[in-house]
Structure formats: C-alpha cells, structure tokens
Amino acid sequence: MGLWDKDAPGVMELPSGRLVRGRGLRHGPAAAPFPTYGVYLLGTEPPDVPWETHWIKWPDFRLPTDRAAALTIFRDALERTGSGRVEFACNGGRGRTGTALACLAILDGVPADQAVAYVRHHYDKHAVETPWQKRYVLNLLTRS
C-alpha cells in the first residue's frame, strides 16, 4: 500500500512530511488511489464507502458537536498518515475540512496561531471559513 502523491489534488504535506488529502464530497466520488481511512465532517451520516471511516458530526459553517471526540479522531488520523492514505472531507472541502486540516497541522507541530495560514498556503486559500472555526483552531489544545 502506498501513500498519497504529494502533487495530487487536495493533498497537503504536513511539517513532518506526512501527507493528508482534503476534498469536497459534492465534487463527486473519491478519485483513485482511494483512501485507506477517511474522516467525514458532516451534519448527517456520510455515505458508505469501501474503506474504514470515522464520522465527526459537524454541521456546515459550525464546529464539531463533540470537540473532545474530534480531537481524539484528529490524533488517530495523524498517526494513520504514517502508514496509509488518510482523507478529510466535508461537503465543500473548505470550511470544516480546512479547519480539521489546521488541527492536524497543530498536532504535527505548527503553532496554533499559524495553523490557518499554513493550511491556506498548502491546501486551499479559502480554507477555514468562519471566525469561530478560526477560534476553534487557535484554542484547540487549550481546552483539552
């Protein structure tokens, strides 16, 4: 099993060199190679896929409904990036996905006050859409 191609669409390289893919579900099915693990950030249960998944209940333009559980899933997903293809996805692939990727960046060593800029530079310039998503990223580790 290989990892992501770092030049593939939606793939972001973390400071450690680990790769993670972000995408928007509304843009159609996942492209091959398929993830080995997906984290889906949606207000309703995600569609079935043939790889292992985790659902974080996260309404559009909002925050995860269970922040402690989300942090645990982020930590697990970061661990999995070392040996598999991990993807994060919400409907559009920017707000919730960008927020989750910024959280992964923090867990991988990016200072919290630089995580949104990091994701906007390395993933999508419109990532992390709302002021409360930015605040959530900034305070990720101070509330846990």
Q: What are the pLDDT tens digits along the chain (144 aa)?
A: 579 999 999 999 999 999 999 999 999 888 889 999 999 999 999 989 999 999 999 999 899 999 999 999 999 999 999 999 999 999 999 999 999 999 999 999 999 999 999 999 999 999 999 999 999 999 998 864
Q: How many domains does the chain have?
A: 1
pTM above 0.85, yes or no: yes
Residue found by looking up tokens 């630089």 in the block: 114
* Calpha distance 28→32 (Å, rounded): 12
Q: Is residue 104 part of a domain?
A: yes
C-alpha to C-alpha distance for 86 and 63, rounded to whole angstroms: 21
Beta bridge partners of 21: 11, 87
1 in any annotated domain: no
Question: What confidence score (pLDDT) does residue 1 get?
Answer: 53
Give domain status of residue 77, yes or no.
Answer: yes
Q: What's residue 61's pLDDT? A: 87
* CATH code of residue 33: 3.90.190.10
Buried b (16+ CB within 10 A) or exposed e, 47-80: eeeeeebbebbbeeeebbeeeeebbebbeebbeb
The answer to whether residue 102 sits within a structural domain is yes
Q: Tell me, yes or no, whether 144 lies in a domain.
A: no
Range of the domain at 64: 13-138
